[in-house]
Amino acid sequence: MKHFTSVKDVKDMEALLQTAKAVKQSPFADKNLASNKAMCLIFLNPSLRTRLSTQRAAMNLGLDTVVFDMNQGGWNLEFQDGTVMNVDKPEHVKEAAAVIGQYYDIIGIRAFAHLKNRTEDYAELVIKQFQKYAGVPVISLESPVRHPLQSLTDLITIEEHKTVEKPKIVLSWAPHPKALPQAVANSFLEWMIATGQDITLTHPKGYELDDTFTKNVKVTNDQRAAFEGADFIYTKNWSSYQDYGQVLEKGNDWMVSADKMKLTNNAKFMHCLPVRRNVIVADEVIDSEQSIVIQQAANRVVAAQAVLKTILES
């Protein structure tokens, strides 16, 4: 594996999951794997789990890490090729990525969707330009379209917590006061489909995702029907893809409540975090025994470490 930006970069899923298991069992077994190597994590947006878990994963492999909040102290980069740079952007990604690639052996980058222009967001220009110009492996720390470190974490967590061979997994839209990207939802579906899971998607009308991510996914607008017999309830808000970046639904009809959880097969509750309590999910659900959000977040280190180890050994 060279880059890690989507499920398609994973050459051998079975091997990656085995690596994750091994990493979880003995996190310090490869303490010297990356000696004299270093990674730069570039953030254009806030982060808690991605930043800290990827740093911790690197630490466990002896990989030195620098975090660069590019919006605070870095130049405002131009990402489009061929532009006349006579306005506000002093540096082109062509030089910036190439230079960072001289200093570091791996680059991680987070660039959220702006939710204004769908074509621009879905082109994933920031991460693609880094891949093109850095000359070193590039890891997505969430692009406008995908969040693969989260999705690998989710897969590992489901594998650990499932009690039947093929659990019923439900991805449910939930309300949110702000417009959020579709990245976590897209990516979750992409990983579930790639690994042959039984996956149902439920959302109100108007929240259909890009159909490249919903092939072979069961889709319903009836949240209660989706919850029936579910083994995992994965909740996430996203803004409209059709009516790009818009928040269409008001009210808390779609919040995950204890009442809805009763329809499930004692399902585990999952969310990537950060989560708005009593908007996305009721306190009594996230604070219940069924909630595995902390165990899930703990696996962010495992996923990042498995990915870094695989890249370093490639």
Give contact residues for ligand SN0 (rule: CB under 6 A).
178, 180-181, 183-184, 272, 274, 276
Closest CB to ligand SN0 among 148 and 181?
Answer: 181
Identify the residue whose tokens are 């001289």.
102
CB of 85 to ligand SN0, least distance (A): 30
CB of 181 to ligand SN0, least distance (A): 4
Closest CB to ligand SN0 among 133 and 207?
Answer: 207
CB of 91 to ligand SN0, least distance (A): 26
For residues 184 and 246, is the Cβ–Cβ distance under 8 A? no
CB of 168 to ligand SN0, least distance (A): 24
Closest CB to ligand SN0 among 100 and 125?
Answer: 125
- Nearest alpha-carbon partner for 232 in 261, 203, 202: 261
Looking at the DSSP bridge assignments, the partners of residue 43 are 69, 110
CB of 185 to ligand SN0, least distance (A): 9
Residues in the chain: 314
Looking at the DSSP bridge assignments, the partners of residue 133 are none
CB of 111 to ligand SN0, least distance (A): 11
For residues 186 and 209, is the Cβ–Cβ distance under 8 A? yes
Closest CB to ligand SN0 among 138 and 141?
Answer: 141
CB of 93 to ligand SN0, least distance (A): 22
- Nearest alpha-carbon partner for 181 in 115, 134, 247, 246: 115
Closest CB to ligand SN0 among 178 and 250?
Answer: 178
For residues 140 and 109, is the Cβ–Cβ distance under 8 A? yes
Instruction: Provide the Cα torsion 106, 107, 108, 110; round to 10°.
Output: -170
- Nearest alpha-carbon partner for 188 in 226, 225, 232: 232
Closest CB to ligand SN0 among 134 and 171?
Answer: 171
Instruction: Give phi and psi for 68, each to the nearest 5.
Output: -120, 110
- Strands 268-270 and 232-236 turn out to be parallel
Closest CB to ligand SN0 among 128 and 276?
Answer: 276
Residue nearest to ligand SN0 (CB): 180
Cα-Cα-Cα-Cα dihedral sign, residues 103, 16, 132, 68: negative
In sequence order, the 6+-apart residues with CB closer than 8 A to the CB of 192 are: 155, 169, 171, 199, 217
Closest CB to ligand SN0 among 34 and 180?
Answer: 180
CB of 43 to ligand SN0, least distance (A): 12
